[in-house]
Amino acid sequence: MRKFISLKRQQGVGLIELMVSVTIGLLIMAGVVQLYLTSVESQRSQEGLSRIQENIRFASNRLNDEGSSSGFLGCLPRLDDDTRVINLLAEGTGADADGTPEVANFSSSISGKDASGVNSTDEVFFRFALPRSIPLVEDFKPELDDQITLDNSINFQLAYDSIKQWDVAVLTDCNYAVVFIVTNDPGTDGVVALTKGGNGAPSGHPNAGQKNISTNIDLPFIGINNADNEGKIRARLFLAGMGGYSYQVQLSESAKQANTRGGTAQCDSNHPQYCALFRNGQEIMDGVVDFQVEYGWRDGNLVSFGNATAVASAGRWNRVDRVKMDVTLSAIEATGTNDNSSTKRIQREMSQVIMLKNPVVEL
């Protein structure tokens, strides 16, 4: 007997089934891609926020340290009397048309300018000496002498070795102070030169062009070798680095380089990635969009606040004892999730009031 085997017709995947499978696959793929994009955007947002927070900490610490130190000239108190500071520096020691002291004008501890930076941002000047000091050995008269002799013994060797040519320095006896620029590279003999005139600090140096000028003030500073002036305070030298420090928002260095190659980058509220905070002409932090400064001063028990123009009009630069700074920082990279829809970049604001450590002594 023959056995008949029934063969069923084999069937493949139909068109409809294929389309359904492809559709489901595409939906899954779209979800994976969307998840990936969301993850990337979230990461970029977190990186931008972290960078802003880091910049806020940096800005807060730097501005607070230098702002609160303004007015420190060794043991010389902050006086409402600018005749106590003898400034031998030639550049940046005057005042502008409205009476605001320039960056190297040590007769005032702090000053600033309104809307002098890009995007109508403000500029602020801090002036102070560093706390490390070296005793004066021989007597010194600013009118006659072009050099001073310091104690470079083992007790003061570290401070003495930190003196560099073209540094600003302050010599004070607690009653008066003389500010000058070091014109030699001090050797082992303790002699520091403050030659008058000349070309000043060379191009490329932070104090480029700065030099000393002559003075007719016949005021002796007593050294430790003078045995005939017992009871008088011996003078000490305090280093001041660049002396005055200016903070201002400008076009970032990367944007400047791009513009030299034909770019049109500009710093404004719509292009925060091209803005940066500069200290004495050197970029220290990018993404700073806005920088507004107000100053506070005391008249008796009354504390007043105002911008630089208001302080100059009131003639109160010597009485400023606090500074309020409002800073807006932006992320450099654009993100899809942010709190600024116009620039697609995360932005944060920082507001800080800095009290000067050296209060004004009224005469």
With bands split at pLDDT 50, 70 and 90, how would you rate the model's confidence at 177? very high
Residue 232, phi then psi, degrees to nearest 5: -95, 150
pLDDT at 213: 93
Least confident piece of the model among 5-9, 53-57, 182-186, 212-216:
5-9
In tens, the pLDDT along 106-154 reads: 888 899 999 999 989 999 999 999 988 999 999 999 999 999 999 988 8
> Using an 8 Å Cβ cutoff, are 88 and 221 in contact?
no
Would you list the DSSP string of 224-244?
TT-TT-TTSPPPEEEEEETSE
Least confident piece of the model among 52-56, 287-291, 350-354:
52-56
Model-wide pTM > 0.85? no
User: What's the CA gap between 70 and 65, in Å, rounded?
Assistant: 9
pLDDT at 51: 79
User: What's the CA gap between 175 and 180, in Å, rounded?
Assistant: 17
Structure tokens at 294: 């107000």
Report whether pLDDT(352) > 70: yes
Count of residues in the chain: 363
Q: What angle do CA 150, 155, 161 make, to 5 degrees?
A: 60
Q: Identify which has the larger pLDDT, 28 or 79.
A: 28
Give me the amino acid identity at 51: R
Structure tokens at 126: 């801090």
344: left (phi over 0), alpha (psi -120 to 50) or beta: left
User: What's the CA gap between 72 and 218, in Å, rounded?
Assistant: 24
Going by C-beta distance under 8 Å and a sequence separation of 6 or more, which residues neighbour residue 269? 119, 289, 290, 342, 343
Continuous H helices in the chain = 15-69, 157-161, 253-260, 308-314
From residue 359, how far is each of 9, 313, 362 by CA, in Å? Answer: 102, 22, 9
In tens, the pLDDT along 260-269 reads: 888 888 898 8
Percent residues over pLDDT 70 in the chain: 90
User: What's the CA gap between 110 and 318, in Å, rounded?
Assistant: 8
Secondary structure letter of residue 4 according to DSSP? P
User: What's the CA gap between 107 and 178, in Å, rounded?
Assistant: 11
Report whether pLDDT(10) > 60: no
User: What mean pLDDT do residues 299-326 have?
Assistant: 91
From residue 349, how far is each of 28, 109, 124, 248 by CA, in Å? Answer: 41, 27, 18, 17
Q: Which SS3 state, helix, strand or coil, does residue 330 take?
A: strand
> Using an 8 Å Cβ cutoff, are 358 and 109 in contact?
yes
In tens, the pLDDT along 68-94 reads: 999 899 888 887 767 889 999 998 888
**Beta strand 177-181 with 85-87: parallel, antiparallel or unpaired?**
parallel
Longest CA span, the chain: 146
